[in-house]
Structure 1
Amino acid sequence: MPGKYKQTMYACYLGHITQAINNNLAPLFFVIFHEQFGLSFEMLGRLVLLNFGTQILADILSVKYVDRIGYRAAAVLAHVLCFAGILSLGILPVVMPNTMLALSLAVFISACGGGITEVILSPMVESLPTTAKAASMSLLHAFYCWGQMAVVVLTTVAVWVFGADIWYYIPVFWALIPLYNIFKFMRVPLLPLVPDGEEMPISQLFRSGAFFIALLLMLSAGASELTMSQWSSLFAEIGLRVPKLVGDLVGPALFALFMGAGRTIYGVLGERLNLQKALGYSSLLCVACYAVVVFSPVPFISLLGAALCGLSVSLMWPGTFSLTSARFPRGGTAMFGILAIFGDLGGSVGPWLTGFISDLSQSSAVVQRWSQARGIGLEQGGLRLGLLVGIVFPVLMLIGVNALQKKSAGSTSISTES
């Protein structure tokens, strides 16, 4: 790759770190919001739903307008919104009497920027002059994981050292990253993904059965990943009764470490591996990890299952992007935007469904008896049942990968489909 485009790649890396802050900072404060402000599990799940639901709307608008305003303007606008939203997470709950409204506004603003970001970063990297496209895509998404790990570790240590009462200073610190990237995207060189006039019409995409399978894969990938990553911190503290420092470092931090390692390894060795087979094995491992988290009576084993779940989901999101891009090389911004919409749909529905089932199930006599028989609290039992529902998404991922393999075996070439 020519040296001048390395700065573009670095800016995209920082963009994914910003997205990791958007998606993972607030959930680390869920116990604080639950205990200090009295927010229920469903209300916490609603914040996750708002985050990814808003990103879906931003994805839809981006599909329509990004090509009109240009990638540079879109990238700058996205980071301005991310900066404002992350900063507001620490300011608005302090100055507004309605904590839920304050948190919702902060999440909404940053989610608007996050939705634009995830639509533009992948096609930006795809457009750069490199031959190993799938490996580059996986490495790009690995920086989301490293960002997630940094957010979890540094935020958890800060709360442990300085106390939970100063949590609202932490978002101010994290807001500096999108602020820096605003100025970086003002200068880096950019290339078009597809020459003007050569993009595949959206209607043609939706006439392909393979594209519908890709949408199922994206929905399943988003739900499989975000359900575990968003709830593992609270599950460790309340569901397993371990200290917050231990729970965050062994749960969400190791989740991010394993997810980043999986994506980085594929970024280095990707051209030698069969991506579809790798996704199939990943789906099986993900099912096993969810089962271990829910049913293991040993807290350490449950935490280990949550951490290994990061490895199992590592290829799902970037792998689906790469498979779809290879099959539809003229898909353009619209294709990446539609894929992101379905990824966010899974990422919003999955975590919210876990919170909803967790709250609802606690009034069930069956869950009450099951929790009592296992010697765990009712909240623990509800959380485990909520996470058990999440196992359906890696199962759907496995079904979709198998269907895509059969469809690929019957296809004579990529070009005939695209």
Structure 2
Amino acid sequence: MAHTFKRTIHACYRGYIVQAAINNLAPLLFVIFQQQFDLSLSMIGNLIFLNFGTQLVVDAIAVKFADKIGYRKCMVTAHILCTVGLVALGILPNIMMPYAGLCLAVIFYAIGGGLIEVLISPIVDAVPGDDKASAMSLLHSFYCWGQVLVVLLSTVFLQICGHGMWMILPVLWAVLPLVNGLSFLKVPIPTPAEGHEKIPIKKLLASKIFMIAMIMMLCAGAAELSMAQWSSLFAEKALGVSKVMGDLLGPCLFAVFMGVGRTFYGLWGKKINLTGALLVCSILCVVSYLLASLSNIPAFALMGCSLCGLAVSLLWPGMLSYSSACYPGGGTAMFGILAICGDLGCSIGPWITGFVSEGAQSSPALVAQAAADGFTPEQIGLKIGLLSAVVFPMIIAGGILAMRRIRTKQEVPGKMGGEQQGA
């Protein structure tokens, strides 16, 4: 029966590549935006917050109305909005006030991205199959490989055509959601939570372990996006490498490591204990942030950025799989609530990084110390901003340990599939 949904799965894979494009294209242009439109770090942070904040609002609305409207209509609409937003990103800043144009474009594609985020996971989860955790991780690996494609192809384009032609790049990427939106007009859409009684939202929110999962999803989004959104600018401005090398060794290598981690778990996840893997990933994430922000050697700092991709690879899909296994009847509401928490983290994490960076540059004491150590105010600001994000993986590690204690008391209904191998 699963082969019936093969085209659906492939469309979902491409959907996450679309998600990668709308989340990671603009950060590659941040330096260009700074130079051409005179944007501050806090204004750039606000663009990131606007993107994921809009997705968060859409997540909340989709939880309530997606089932009533229908998944097919929602997915097609999502791809249309992503197409419009990417085209607007290339056009609007040049025909109106630049910052307002950027904000409008972000809002358009963020609405589409929010719908995609909420709906793709429950669609794939509803496809018949035994190993849901591996399937979910493999699905999310396509976000990573999409990010790699976005960074590589966009970097090559800017290198060949020049920074002055950047506005063509979003228009070219808009072809992807347009084509994939047409795919969702035809592919079969499975019914989520089929065979399970739907769990009311109130019951989900009454569970201690689900509340912890929500907090961990928030921190997973914050840990992932703080590095993904700032690593390009961090590499160029704080570490002093060229834009091409900064993009390739920052967000690109970050995405490669994240993709490798998710693909590995997607293929061999049955043999791996999920709780243990999440704990190891959270600890590695702490180490990665410390290495990236505290090392004065650019090669080591870039290594920290890259390893962070591997560290966060399992956090988001792992929590989705954990929750789905605990609550097989959670359906759209469960995935939507977790997506809301994840997108809240995606908004808050990079925004905090930018806010702390800007604040550090305004501190006379820090600026004086930075000058004594041979750093510019911008360099020390970015380093301190990135360091502040280490709190998120630390919270995740604590949440995993708390989950273990709760599970030993057998509070969670249902079984954990792969967790039976010795959580």
Decide: shared fold, TM above 0.5: yes
Q: Distance in 1 between matches of 2:335 and 2:216?
A: 13
Q: CA offsets, 1:249-274, max 9 Å, x none? A: 01110000000000000001101101
The CA deviation at 1:276 is: 0.7
The CA deviation at 1:191 is: 1.1
1:367 equivalenced with 2:385 (yes/no)? no
Which residue of 2 is the match for residue 130 of structure 1? 129
Which residue of 1 is the match for residue 18 of structure 2? 18
- Contact map agreement 1:8 1:190 (CA 8 A) in 2: yes
1:4 equivalenced with 2:24 (yes/no)? no
1:288 equivalenced with 2:287 (yes/no)? yes
- Contact map agreement 2:325 2:414 (CA 8 A) in 1: no
What is the aligned residue count?
A: 416
Helix, strand or coil at the partner of 2:13? helix
> Greater shift after overlay, 372-381 or 190-199?
190-199
The CA deviation at 1:198 is: 2.8
Unaligned runs of 5+ in 1: none
- Contact map agreement 2:196 2:328 (CA 8 A) in 1: no
Q: CA offsets, 1:327-353, max 9 Å, x none? A: 111111000000000000000001011
Q: Distance in 1 between matches of 2:195 and 2:339?
A: 22
1:95 equivalenced with 2:65 (yes/no)? no
- Contact map agreement 2:325 2:415 (CA 8 A) in 1: no
Task: Name the amino acid aligned to 2:80.
Answer: V
- Contact map agreement 1:326 1:414 (CA 8 A) in 2: no
Unaligned runs of 5+ in 2: 417-423
Which residue of 2 is the match for residue 329 of structure 1? 328
Task: Name the amino acid aligned to 2:19.
Answer: Q
Which residue of 2 is the match for residue 254 of structure 1? 253
1:29 equivalenced with 2:37 (yes/no)? no
Which residue of 1 is the match for residue 222 of structure 2? 223
The CA deviation at 1:233 is: 0.1
Which residue of 2 is the match for residue 310 of structure 1? 309
Helix, strand or coil at the partner of 2:166? helix
Q: Distance in 2 between matches of 1:46 and 1:412?
A: 40
Which residue of 2 is the match for residue 265 of structure 1? 264
Which residue of 2 is the match for residue 276 of structure 1? 275
Q: Distance in 2 between matches of 1:108 and 1:306?
A: 28
Which residue of 1 is the match for residue 69 of structure 2? 69
Which residue of 2 is the match for residue 408 of structure 1? 407
Q: Distance in 2 between matches of 1:195 and 1:9?
A: 17
The CA deviation at 1:405 is: 1.1
Which residue of 2 is the match for residue 179 of structure 1? 178
- Contact map agreement 1:137 1:322 (CA 8 A) in 2: yes
Helix, strand or coil at the partner of 1:251? helix
Task: Name the amino acid aligned to 2:380.
Answer: G
Helix, strand or coil at the partner of 1:190? coil
Q: Distance in 2 between matches of 1:305 and 1:68?
A: 45
Q: CA offsets, 1:71-119, max 9 Å, x none? A: 11111111111111111111111211x1110000000000000001010
Helix, strand or coil at the partner of 1:415? coil
Which residue of 2 is the match for residue 155 of structure 1? 154
**Given the superposition, is the C-alpha separation of residues 347 and 412 from structure 1 closer, same or farther in structure 2, using an over 3 Å criterion?**
closer
Task: Name the amino acid aligned to 1:52.
Answer: F
Q: What TM-score, normalized to structure 2?
A: 0.96
Which residue of 1 is the match for residue 40 of structure 2? 40
> Greater shift after overlay, 47-56 or 156-165?
156-165
Q: Distance in 2 between matches of 1:393 and 1:367?
A: 24
Task: Name the amino acid aligned to 2:385.
Answer: G
Q: What TM-score, normalized to structure 1?
A: 0.98
The CA deviation at 1:222 is: 0.1
The percentage of counterpart residues that share the same residue type is 50
The CA deviation at 1:373 is: 2.9
- Contact map agreement 2:354 2:385 (CA 8 A) in 1: yes
The CA deviation at 1:36 is: 1.2
Q: Distance in 1 between matches of 2:193 and 2:319?
A: 19
Q: Distance in 1 between matches of 2:204 and 2:32?
A: 45
